[in-house]
């Protein structure tokens, strides 16, 4: 499940195919990616991946149409909605909690909204400045033109900052979606998650394992989809088909810290408590568009989880790309946010293609990582005792 992205799903197929070629070359693997096929209902884009004789059916669960309905929004809607949203979030204490639990990500989101406020003020000041160029006799009529002129200037500035390096319109609209979804105002996503839950449940018994992968905003949407499956079928995942959830570039506290997100917090708690669903959280401290400092349950102010809920995998950026490329890309926040979906330069590092379609089943990889992490903790304790 992709994040808040308006691009057609074939974009992700193209990315996967390109990175699979790099993985095959770097790791000496034989990887074949089939042509994509859209499902009859239009909610999935499927393709097959063959890796050294192992076949994986990759299904991209789509919500790009919902994103396009919300991004980019008309500027008049932002002008009305953004102040109202942040006034609510400030009054309920969300901003303080968000800054404490999500530090760097909070700086990005709050910073982008400050840039948006600056663009609004600059548009108004420029429009007022243009008024001075008008003859004094026409000032009354020119004053009436200030609002539409300021609005036109704002539209131009928002278009100019829509892409890198600021992504102002994207992140402002993504924030609005997240909090509308938290409070249930975004009803289309509810129906879509029900459809996703049906697609996930239908794979049980037909596949050797089921892996739900949520990138970015789908770190919480994927949890909600799995929770819908569990609510309908509490025995899901216990009948011989292993089920795993993998979150990459997670932003779960972004939504769960909103007081209106009770359903999301309940879903997070239920999935985290389900022994039938393994959970791997792939974290990257270099990804400023993710929340990676703390366990997502603790950061959401839910009861402290057991050590392996979720299993954590910390990925270093220098294992994925060369230092010279890091220097060129590190301020391209969206490009770095997608790096976890790409091939790694080191054959021993996390590689998305090899992880999801390689010979080791994902549920076994998660079990292995959990055991390795437990052994490291035991070794660290022994070393601490010896030093004491």
The answer as to whether 111 is a domain residue is yes
- pLDDT of 281 reads 97
- Structure tokens, 223: 């949890």
Same domain, 59 and 82: no
Domain span including residue 233? 10-67+183-387
Q: What secondary structure letter does DSSP report for 345?
A: S
Based on the domain organization, do 206 and 324 belong to the same domain?
Answer: yes
How many Å apart are CA 188 and CA 62, to the nearest integer?
A: 12
For residue range 52-99, list pLDDT tens digits in order.
Answer: 889 999 999 999 999 999 999 999 999 999 999 999 999 999 999 999
Any domain includes 305: yes
Residue 369 domain-assigned (yes or no): yes
Number of structural domains the chain divides into: 2
Same domain, 203 and 221: yes
Tokens standing for residue 158 = 């928002």
Residue 176 in domain: no
CA nearest 169: which of 246, 248, 71?
Answer: 71
Half-sphere exposure of residue 252: CA atoms within 13 angstroms, side-chain side: 34
DSSP tag of 71:
S
Q: Is residue 270 part of a domain?
A: yes
Task: Provide CB contacts within 8 A for 5, sequence distance 6+.
Answer: 11, 64, 67
Asked whether residue 202 falls in the same domain as residue 340, the answer is yes
Are residue 60 and residue 92 in the same domain, yes or no?
no
Contact residues for 118 (Cβ-Cβ < 8 A; gap 6+) = none
Q: Are residues 143 and 196 in the same domain?
A: no
Q: Does some domain include residue 378?
A: yes
Give a yes or no: residue 131 inside a domain: yes
Output the tens digit of pLDDT for each of the chain's 388 residues.
Answer: 999 999 999 999 999 999 999 999 999 999 999 999 999 999 999 999 999 889 999 999 999 999 999 999 999 999 999 999 999 999 999 999 999 999 999 999 999 999 999 999 999 999 988 877 766 655 666 678 888 999 999 999 999 888 887 899 999 999 999 999 999 999 999 999 999 999 999 999 999 999 999 999 999 999 999 999 999 999 999 999 999 999 999 999 999 999 999 999 999 999 999 999 999 999 999 999 999 888 999 999 998 778 789 999 999 999 999 988 998 888 889 999 999 999 999 999 999 999 999 999 999 999 999 999 888 878 777 776 777 6
Flag whether 56 is in a domain: yes
- Co-location of 237 and 318 in the same domain: yes
Is there a single domain that holds both residue 380 and residue 284?
yes
Pair (190, 123) in one structural domain: no
Shared domain for 79 and 60, answered yes or no, is: no
In order, the DSSP letters of 224-252 are HHHHHHHHH-TTTT-SS--EEEEEES--H
Residues 6+ apart with CB under 8 A from 341: 15, 16, 19, 215, 248, 352
Q: What Å distances lie between residue 179 and 173, 174, 255, CA to CA?
A: 10, 9, 7
Considering the domain architecture, whether residues 354 and 252 belong to the same structural domain is answered as yes
Rg of the chain over Cα atoms, rounded to whole angstroms, equals 23
Q: Which pLDDT value is given to residue 141?
A: 65
Q: Are residues 203 and 252 in the same domain?
A: yes
DSSP 12-62: HHHHHHHHHHHHHHHHT--EEEPPPEE-TTSSEEEEEEEETTEEEEEEEE-
Query: Residue 125: how many CA atoms within 13 Å on its side-chain side?
Result: 6
Confidence (pTM): 0.93
């Amino acid at each position: 499940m992709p994040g808040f992205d308006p691009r057609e799903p074939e974009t992700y197929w193209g990315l996967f195919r390109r990175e699979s070629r790099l993985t095959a070359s770097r790791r000496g693997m034989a990887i074949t990616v089939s042509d994509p096929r859209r499902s009859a209902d239009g909610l999935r884009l499927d393709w097959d991946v063959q890796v050294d004789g192992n076949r994986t059916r990759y299904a991209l669960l789509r919500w790009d149409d919902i994103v396009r309905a919300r991004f980019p929004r008309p500027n008049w809607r932002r002008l009305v909605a953004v102040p109202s949203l942040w006034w609510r979030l400030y009054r309920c204490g969300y901003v303080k909690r968000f800054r404490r639990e999500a530090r760097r990500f909070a700086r990005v989101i709050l910073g982008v909204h400050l840039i948006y406020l600056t663009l609004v003020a600059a548009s108004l000041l420029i429009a007022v400045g243009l008024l001075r160029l008008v003859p004094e006799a026409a000032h009354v009529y020119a004053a009436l033109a200030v609002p539409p002129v300021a609005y036109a200037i704002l539209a131009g500035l928002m278009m100019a900052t829509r892409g890198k390096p600021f992504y102002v319109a994207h992140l402002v609209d993504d924030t609005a979606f997240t909090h509308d979804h938290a409070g249930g105002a975004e009803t289309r996503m509810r129906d879509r998650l029900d459809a996703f839950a049906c697609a996930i449940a239908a794979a049980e018994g037909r596949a050797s394992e089921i892996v739900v992968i949520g990138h970015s905003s789908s770190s919480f949407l994927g949890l909600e989809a799995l929770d819908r499956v569990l609510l309908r079928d509490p025995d899901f995942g216990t009948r011989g088909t292993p089920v795993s959830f993998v979150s990459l570039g997670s932003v779960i506290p972004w939504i769960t810290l909103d007081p209106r997100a009770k359903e999301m917090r309940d879903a997070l708690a239920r999935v985290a408590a389900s022994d039938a669903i393994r959970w791997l959280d792939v974290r990257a401290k270099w990804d400023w568009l993710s929340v990676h400092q703390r366990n997502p349950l603790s950061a959401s102010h839910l009861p402290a989880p057991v050590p392996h809920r979720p299993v954590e995998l910390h990925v270093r950026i220098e294992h994925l790309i060369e230092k010279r490329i890091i220097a060129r890309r590190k301020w391209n926040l969206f490009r770095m946010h997608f790096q976890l979906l790409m091939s790694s330069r080191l054959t021993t590092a996390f590689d998305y293609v090899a992880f999801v379609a390689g010979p080791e089943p994902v549920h076994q990889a998660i079990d292995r990582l959990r055991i390795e992490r437990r052994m490291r903790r035991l070794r660290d304790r022994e070393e601490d005792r010896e030093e004491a």
